[in-house]
A and B are shown apart, each in its own frame.
Chain A
Amino acid sequence: MTTPDLAALPRLPRDAEGPVFRAPWEAQAFAMAVTLAERGLFTWKEWATYLADEIAAARVRGEADDGSRYYHDWLAALEKIVADKGLVATDALLTRKDEWDRAARATPHGQPIVLPRRP
């Protein structure tokens, strides 16, 4: 490895102590990982490993690593750890995602989106 060119590195993104979540889904994804770890379904050390692996993989794929993709990586890591721990299978997630997609498209504005009752 050659010496890193410090001048070529981007400047640090700064913030003004604003909100820590930029969208509700980020907060939901955050809370799910915290809650599952608190219930002992995985350890926080295991979680940190999944998250670090996901951030590293995103970087290899060339995605922006400026903090803006952080909760995308968090969500991807969460989907992997729940599958590996046998909590929620990947195919069940994909099926359920399609159900939410259909439900959202069929729900008029201003009404809560709910999944249809299962037969």
Chain B
Amino acid sequence: MSDHHHDHASEPGSPLAETDLRVRALESLLVEKGLVDPAALDAVIDTYETKVGPRNGARVVARAWVDPAFRARLLADATAAIAELGYMGRQGEDMVALENTPKVHNLVVCTLCSCYPWPVLGLPPVWYKSAPYRSRAVLDPRGVLREFGVELGDDVEVRVWDSTSEMRYLVLPERPAGTEGMSEEALAQLVTRDSMIGVAKVTPPARGGPR
């Protein structure tokens, strides 16, 4: 191989980064062979980057808070209940909903890679993919929760769930006090991504706001 000096004087353009080149090489070959359609790639990126987000999951949680029958269906068969709202897994994985209560706190991790419930939460945050989270969520879940600002009493049982390529988990957080009069839509606005992974609680709206 030649050396890697970038002689800008003799080159009209500029070199692409190594990863850019590898991705372009792979994509152009797959497209030429008819194995992927560029429009399908764009659709996937658009869906996961801008359309899904944690919004779908927040709608599932809000519905479960206001509709006891839906809540029961969600806890019995989350894949089917979530599909009622139009959200389907692309990889054929099964969903399980985990209910947080005053006595049980659920926390989701993927120790091997970063299996994650994409259809309801979009793409995983950087920390979810990190080694400290993947290992410490199992070894020291209370310590991890404390770093996220969640203090649990000794009487609260912490359950850690390890996702796989076939089984993904969604935490159903506790509905905060003081939200009795809120609409389903307003409730969905309170539900954060972190609360559905189990590293946060849902907090009630700031005081002084409209009831």
Contact = CB atoms under 8 A, between A and B. Distances in A.
Interface in B89-147: 90-93, 112-115, 122-133, 135-136, 139-140, 143-144, 147
15 contacts: A12-B132, A17-B193, A31-B40, A38-B90, A44-B91, A55-B112, A65-B130, A67-B130, A70-B129, A78-B26, A87-B33, A101-B21, A104-B16, A108-B12, A109-B12
Contact of B49 (A21, A72, A106): A21
Interface of B: 11-17, 19-30, 33, 35-37, 40-42, 44-45, 48-49, 54, 90-93, 112-115, 122-133, 135-136, 139-140, 143-144, 147-148, 164-166, 192-193
B145 to A, nearest CB: 11
Contacts, number: 185
Contacts of B136: 6, 9, 12
Nearest to A71: B19
- Tell me if A's interface is mostly helix, strand, loop or mixed: helix
A35 interface: yes
Contact of B29 (A37, A47, A88, A101): A88
